[in-house]
Amino acid sequence: MEDTVLSHSDLSHSDPATGLPVGPRPKPVDVAASGADAQSSDALLALVLKSVDDDKAEDIVQIDLRGRSDVADYMVICSGRSSRQVASISEKLADRLKQDMRISVRMEGKETGDWVLIDAGDVIVHVFRPEVREFYQLEKMWLPGGATSGAAAPADQD
């Protein structure tokens, strides 16, 4: 029987109680086999961006999370002018994803309309009221250093 030793880089998430990394990361996937997954996440991103743009979302930012997080491939952050518009953008996005891609999303915060989180699997979407977005400054946490909130994250750089 072979002993397996895991380093911090092999671990995927932290234990909430201790903050220590736990759980093995998924094994790297063959590049040829992962092509379909990349296309589906890119298609999902394109649909999300089109939907929020069609519904007049403002300050739309896309952040490439591939290689930086196991949670999703992309994050989209945008704003609505009011609680009603935030809820509407979110609801219409969920409907389009269900109709066009057969994806049922998980959504949190639609009732208050201040900040709606939409988990569509490979793409995570945050729809904010401007004041709430400014308060949390989520882009600062995820955008690379030196980038501004009005710009998308650059492609992978080696």
pLDDT digits (tens, 9 = 90+) for 23-72: 444 433 443 344 556 668 899 999 999 999 999 999 999 999 988 888 89
Distances (CA, A) of 52 to 15, 59, 64: 34, 10, 17
Q: CA dihedral defined by 34, 40, 46, 50, rounded to 10 degrees?
A: -170
Q: At what angle do helices 83-101 and 31-54 cross, to 10 degrees?
A: 140
DSSP-derived letter for residue 146 is T
* Average pLDDT rounded to a whole number, residues 9-15: 48
DSSP-derived letter for residue 114 is S
pLDDT digits (tens, 9 = 90+) for 129-157: 999 999 999 988 887 764 444 444 444 44
Count of other CB atoms within 10 angstroms of residue 79:
22
pTM of the model: 0.69
CATH topology for 46-142?
Beta Polymerase; domain 2 (3.30.460)
> 141 near 149, Cβ under 8 Å?
no
Token representation of residue 3: 């002993």
